[in-house]
Structure 1
């Protein structure tokens, strides 16, 4: 590694870290100013508040890593360009591709950090962050799916609840169906509601229809206490459950949800693919930032930063739009992740070719 490589790489990493150290405390103060009233009203303990903001730093920081990276590269590369340092480097016979090498090394380091955090560190922070949020900041609001709950418990058993009240642990319009290996209905249990009491389940207006060949046997009771093999968390996982699992846990969870026929499986798969795509975005945004800011402009750094902020907002917009499509309209999660990166990858290639000229 040459002196120029070390010089650029040092500026790359130091500016990125300084950007994080400047903006994350601002984010913490803004969040604290907004939420302090709710924390006091709901009597949140000081130690839990401190842990919450530690998790907040990791969770929010990981989400904003690509944007901070993008803006920091534009900032320090624009300074290099304004000081005519880039012109001197290229005039000495260094090719533009060779000039990019320390940037790519820096992007590799950041991408590795983002991947490691996303797979192992961020899930634990996300769990603490969201648990505190729903316990003290959104007290009374549900963090679970509470309507039209359908699950395939195993190859033969299916369950449906039209609505669920997590606070009272009551499900309404409960149905349990068991099929034979030949896909024939063996029996069907229905009830106006089902209440979870520890490991005991109380069915109201219980009705069971047992199918034997061409005949059906009907059983009914006003109330029945019985046992089932499923648990509440199996039926109504919290909405952010995928974010709280590391790579191995998330893969197993997705397989389980596919087997159960979960209706919101795309949102879980999307979380998985986004973890893999986040490091790729580090390279794409690095190339765009260098291509934009390595040219000395009349407007100086301000023009480059304005362009950078605009690109950052467009990137977030595309990411949110395709993510929403995947979660709510059946759009392929892998395409929802690939398309924004592909579009910005093409933009990076075009800007690099233009910058070389």
Structure 2
């Protein structure tokens, strides 16, 4: 049963967090417009495309900086409570500091569930629209720009077939120095090579130039050659080179299926995809950790007043984001465990939250 004090704090928690987001998002949009307005005018981007982009930008921006918004909002209104001696009055009435935290934990739970559902279903679509706009209009000058690996691509496309291409042109849907190896029971059955392979979207077939197929026999190999040959493969050429931000654009179920498929193919980007998956769960948990730290830091009066609390809060919030980015990049670019990299900021700041909470209780 929520008391009047609980409802008061919970209302302040959610209202301040909402206002903080509504204040910072327009600032982010203004800064983004000032940076990109010249490109938008040069490329004559339609107004509807720009409007959709800034809707996606709003969702993407709010999700990316959610920890900072939450932390600063809790610091802000808790410092006001402390400066007005409201916290002292509450604790003097016999309520323990742990009990005082209850509405904060309820607020963090509401925010966590909201962020979790956003990350599962809404953010992926916004991320796709946001990145597609950037690559098409801002980097590609109105043309589809290559967004995946385009050199020395080696992939397993199904249980039996392995493909290698030396280079890939996304605009013309053409790959060069193509090789396909077909295995059955771990034995090579045939090998197809071509100097160039072009995907035909209408017929869903491939045109192979300087086509050669070597079928291995028990005594003699059978070699088939042709200057040009149309072949129907069970894969799409885009499967060779998924866009660099593909994981961000997939809902939870599709992301898990995609990662399983990429593992079977021997993709070198598995760590990048796992980082995105694990962050869907770690970011909502950070709401509890940052809430506890914010309350512990700002629940007492300081000589510097609210300004000192905000300064400490900003330093901690940006440290959290810094750790998150550094360890995420470390996992993507090395053999460092993605699970540990994603959860390390929560573990580190979780220990800090316990320490600060004990001091605050005293």
The DSSP-based 3-state class of the residue aligned with 2:207 is strand
Deviations 1:191-250 (A, max 9, x none): 222122222322223222221125333333333332211112322211111111111111
- Please report how far the alpha carbon of residue 135 of structure 1 lies from its aligned counterpart in structure 2 after TM superposition: 1.4
- Please report how far the alpha carbon of residue 145 of structure 1 lies from its aligned counterpart in structure 2 after TM superposition: 2.0
Structure 2 residue aligned with 1:129: 130
Q: What aligned pairs does 1:1-357 form with structure 2 within 5 A after superposition?
A: 1-139=2-140, 141-181=145-185, 183-198=186-201, 199-357=204-362
Distance, in Å, in 2 between the alignment partners of 1:162 and 1:282 is: 45
Flag as ranges the 4+ runs of structure 1 deviating above 6 A: none
The answer to whether the Cα contact below 8 Å between 1:150 and 1:263 also exists between their aligned partners in 2 is: no
The answer to whether the Cα contact below 8 Å between 1:196 and 1:202 also exists between their aligned partners in 2 is: yes
Distance, in Å, in 2 between the alignment partners of 1:26 and 1:196 is: 44
Unaligned runs of 5+ in 1: none
Distance, in Å, in 2 between the alignment partners of 1:68 and 1:214 is: 70
Distance, in Å, in 1 between the alignment partners of 2:35 and 2:287 is: 31
Distance, in Å, in 2 between the alignment partners of 1:247 and 1:304 is: 37
The answer to whether the Cα contact below 8 Å between 2:68 and 2:318 also exists between their aligned partners in 1 is: no
The DSSP-based 3-state class of the residue aligned with 1:201 is strand
The DSSP-based 3-state class of the residue aligned with 2:221 is strand
- Please report how far the alpha carbon of residue 47 of structure 1 lies from its aligned counterpart in structure 2 after TM superposition: 0.9
Deviations 1:106-126 (A, max 9, x none): 000100110011101111111
Distance, in Å, in 2 between the alignment partners of 1:269 and 1:173 is: 31
The size of the alignment, in residue pairs, is 356
The DSSP-based 3-state class of the residue aligned with 2:158 is coil
Distance, in Å, in 2 between the alignment partners of 1:232 and 1:129 is: 24
- Please report how far the alpha carbon of residue 148 of structure 1 lies from its aligned counterpart in structure 2 after TM superposition: 2.5
The normalised TM-score by structure 1 is 0.96
Distance, in Å, in 2 between the alignment partners of 1:205 and 1:305 is: 67
Distance, in Å, in 2 between the alignment partners of 1:301 and 1:162 is: 59
Deviations 1:247-297 (A, max 9, x none): 111111111112222111111111111001111000010011111111111
The DSSP-based 3-state class of the residue aligned with 1:350 is helix
- Please report how far the alpha carbon of residue 331 of structure 1 lies from its aligned counterpart in structure 2 after TM superposition: 1.7
The normalised TM-score by structure 2 is 0.95
Distance, in Å, in 1 between the alignment partners of 2:251 and 2:208 is: 37
The answer to whether the Cα contact below 8 Å between 1:203 and 1:224 also exists between their aligned partners in 2 is: yes
Distance, in Å, in 1 between the alignment partners of 2:47 and 2:352 is: 47
